[in-house]
């Protein structure tokens, strides 16, 4: 766990009655309406563009963001691609949001390079930008970046994998994409831990499922044919985990191949209890969303602006059968 991780809470609020705003051409009904808060009476509009709206990780963010928006009196525009995590599917939502009169933009970039021009454009328009979970390649224009401790998460996954495999065997890593910043950091943490501490684990080439469960299933099915003695799988994101569980069920390898996944979807916790998943690295998407909106409000109004942190790194929690009673509260709200 990163001892420098920070949890920030801003005591800010504003009294506003706002109405929902639906972006033309958007495929989601995710706009939130605010009618609470106590403060200046000034209307604040924030667009929040997730990586993929249907993913339970981002669904947990959405629930928390809407609650926080109502509490602060923010007019929240929540819009995102329904079922594909890619810059091609995300950019139309970002472009549409930037045509609105925004006070701030909260963005989960699906690609560090592809979304960089959007951040530059927003900044040029005078719109402060906060990135959550993932980020862009040049963070100099950002107000803040809020994320989980991804390198630490990879290291903790490696530690858990070593313990559950007895410290030997072939290990497959399935990640989202080679340009996804959070996935890259998790893979790097996992790789560095294996190289430095767990040399008995043999890491196979990293495979990429691009947040498609079916692709993760195909990857693991193929790997099991090529390496029937596979000892473990580290699924770097929740969708890869879903696909990996399907592959293990299809091949009757449940329990034999140790599966450690990122995120704590309700379905993943059920699979942990059933034995298909060996451990989960849980994040706190709700806290990430709440902090992003507090920082956006502070930047837009000036209230508590001096309390904004340029980077907030939120610790992870390892969930396994031994500690599930104590860690179940980290299961994502859906």
Model confidence pLDDT, tens digit, residues 76-98: 999 999 888 899 999 999 999 99
Say if residue 173 is in the same domain as residue 261: yes
| CA of residue 99 relative to chain centroid, distance | 26
Cα separation of 183 and 19, whole Å?
36
Quote the number of domains for the chain. 2
Say whether pLDDT at 15 is over 80. Answer: no
CA-based nearest residue to 129, from 296, 311, 297, 301: 296
Say if residue 225 is in the same domain as residue 322: yes
Cα separation of 311 and 97, whole Å?
24
Biggest CA pair distance of the chain: 64
Residue 11 placed within a domain: no
Cα torsion angle, 272, 276, 278, 282, sign: negative
Say if residue 136 is in the same domain as residue 238: no
Q: What pLDDT score was predicted for residue 44?
A: 95
Q: How confident is the model at residue 21 (pLDDT cuts 50, 70, 90)?
A: very low
Say whether pLDDT at 12 is over 80. Answer: no
pTM for this one?
Answer: 0.79
Averaged pLDDT, 167-184: 94
Cα separation of 288 and 259, whole Å?
26
Say if residue 143 is in the same domain as residue 228: no
Say whether pLDDT at 37 is over 90. Answer: no
* 270: helix, strand or coil: helix
Range of the domain at 273: 150-282+318-330
Residue 134 placed within a domain: yes
Q: What pLDDT score was predicted for residue 277?
A: 98
Angle at 67 between CA 6 and CA 242, to 5 degrees: 75
Q: 282 - beta bridge partners?
A: 317
Q: Do residues 56 and 238 touch, judged by C-beta distance below 8 A? A: yes
Cα separation of 150 and 167, whole Å?
22
Residue 203 placed within a domain: yes
Residue 32 placed within a domain: no
Say if residue 250 is in the same domain as residue 297: no
CA-based nearest residue to 152, from 305, 262, 26, 306: 262
Say if residue 264 is in the same domain as residue 311: no
Cα separation of 188 and 259, whole Å?
18
Cα separation of 254 and 8, whole Å?
40
Separation in Å, CA 243 to CA 37, 89, 185, 202, 313: 42, 21, 21, 22, 28
Say if residue 76 is in the same domain as residue 155: no
Residue 17 placed within a domain: no
* 236: helix, strand or coil: coil
Residue 51 placed within a domain: yes
Residue 6 placed within a domain: no
Say if residue 157 is in the same domain as residue 201: yes
> What mean pLDDT, rounded, does the chain reach?
88
CA-based nearest residue to 235, from 256, 211, 202, 252: 211
Cα separation of 172 and 222, whole Å?
11
CA-based nearest residue to 172, from 159, 189, 185, 190: 190
Say if residue 58 is in the same domain as residue 171: no
Q: What is the pLDDT of residues 305-330, one digit of tens each?
A: 999 999 999 999 999 999 999 999 99
Q: What pLDDT score was predicted for residue 41?
A: 53
Say if residue 266 is in the same domain as residue 306: no
Say if residue 117 is in the same domain as residue 265: no
* CATH code, domain carrying 191: 3.40.50.2300
Residue 1 placed within a domain: no
Say whether pLDDT at 32 is over 60. Answer: no
Say if residue 144 is in the same domain as residue 154: no
Cα separation of 334 and 272, whole Å?
17
């Amino acid at each position: 766990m990163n001892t420098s991780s920070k949890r920030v809470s801003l005591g800010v609020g504003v009294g506003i009655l706002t109405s929902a705003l639906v972006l033309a051409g958007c495929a989601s009904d995710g706009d939130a309406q605010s009618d609470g808060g106590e403060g200046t009476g000034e209307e604040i509009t924030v667009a929040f563009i997730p990586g993929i709206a249907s993913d339970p990780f981002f669904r947990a963010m959405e629930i928390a963001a809407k609650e926080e928006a109502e509490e602060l009196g923010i007019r929240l525009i929540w819009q995102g691609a329904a079922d594909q995590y890619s810059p091609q599917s995300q950019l139309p939502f970002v472009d549409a949001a930037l045509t609105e009169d925004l006070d701030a933009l909260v963005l989960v970039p699906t690609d560090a390079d592809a979304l960089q021009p959007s951040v530059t454009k927003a900044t040029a328009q005078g719109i402060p930008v906060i990135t959550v979970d993932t980020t862009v390649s040049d963070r100099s224009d950002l107000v803040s970046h809020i994320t989980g401790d991804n390198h630490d998460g990879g290291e903790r996954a490696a530690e858990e994998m070593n313990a559950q495999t007895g410290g030997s065997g072939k290990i497959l890593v399935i990640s989202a994409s080679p340009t996804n910043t959070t996935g890259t950091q998790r893979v790097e943490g996992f790789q560095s831990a294996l190289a430095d501490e767990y040399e008995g684990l043999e890491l196979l080439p990293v495979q990429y499922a691009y947040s498609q469960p079916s692709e993760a299933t195909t990857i693991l099915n193929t790997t099991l044919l090529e390496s029937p003695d596979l000892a473990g799988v580290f699924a770097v994101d929740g969708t890869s985990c879903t696909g990996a569980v399907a592959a293990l069920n299809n091949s009757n390898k449940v329990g034999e191949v140790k599966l450690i996944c990122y995120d704590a979807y309700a379905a993943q916790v059920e699979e942990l209890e059933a034995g298909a998943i060996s451990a989960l690295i849980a994040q706190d998407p709700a806290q990430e969303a709440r902090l992003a909106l507090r920082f956006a409000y502070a930047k837009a109004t000036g209230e508590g602006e001096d309390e904004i942190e340029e980077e907030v790194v939120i610790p992870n929690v390892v969930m396994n059968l031994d500690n599930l009673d104590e860690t179940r509260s980290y299961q994502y709200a859906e």
